[in-house]
Amino acid sequence: MTRRSWSSKLLRLVGWGIRDARHDDLERLLELWSASGASPSVTDSRVPLVALLELDPRALLVADGSGGAVVGSLIAAWNGWRGSFYRLAVHPDERRRGLATRLVREGERRLRQRGALRIDAIVASDEAPALCFWRAVGYERQRERARFVRNFPPT
């Protein structure tokens, strides 16, 4: 059995489905981010998420659990030059089963189809489990770069 077919069988077994987010997912998505302990951001509201869906309907991936609950997410953004991952989140009840890895691999697949030769992930530097996860799925931490951010109030 190939790794891909094994992975597909596992997804069916645990009941996850990964798909593009829809407008009716946004409130559940915000609830997921809160439940998962994601660091709050000025973009954690419906308006920026609607703008994301309108700009790139395939950028926001969600994982459905049993009963249609949103149990995982990943933003796989493409700027025409490189890909970036944001808001990888898995509900605490669904962790340690491979869902985060599956979301990342699907995000990689989509970004590679669009031409990405490089993908970066924004990860809170004080979240040791997240740092370990990204290393485990093949990403390297770059210490020679600093991230600069400027937040603006909503308009």
* Number of domains making up the chain: 1
Which residue range is the domain that position 42 belongs to? 3-136
Name residue 73's beta-bridge partners.
Answer: 62, 89
Q: Is residue 150 part of a domain?
A: no
Q: Is residue 152 part of a domain?
A: no
CATH, residue 10? 3.40.630.30
CA 93 to chain centre: 17
Model pLDDT, residue 8: 43
Look up residue 120 and give its DSSP letter.
Answer: E
Cα–Cα distances in angstroms (integers) from residue 83 to residues 2, 47, 51, 107, in the given order: 27, 22, 18, 9
- Residue pair 29/74 in contact by the 8 Å Cβ criterion: no
Q: Is residue 119 part of a domain?
A: yes
pLDDT tens for each residue of the chain, 155 residues long = 455 444 444 444 456 899 999 999 999 999 999 999 888 889 999 999 999 999 999 999 999 988 878 999 999 999 999 999 999 999 999 999 999 999 999 999 999 999 999 999 988 888 889 999 999 999 999 887 787 888 888 77
Longest dimension (CA), the chain: 52
Model pLDDT, residue 9: 44
Q: Is residue 66 part of a domain?
A: yes
Q: Is residue 145 part of a domain?
A: no
Q: Side chain identity at 13, as an amino acid letter? A: L
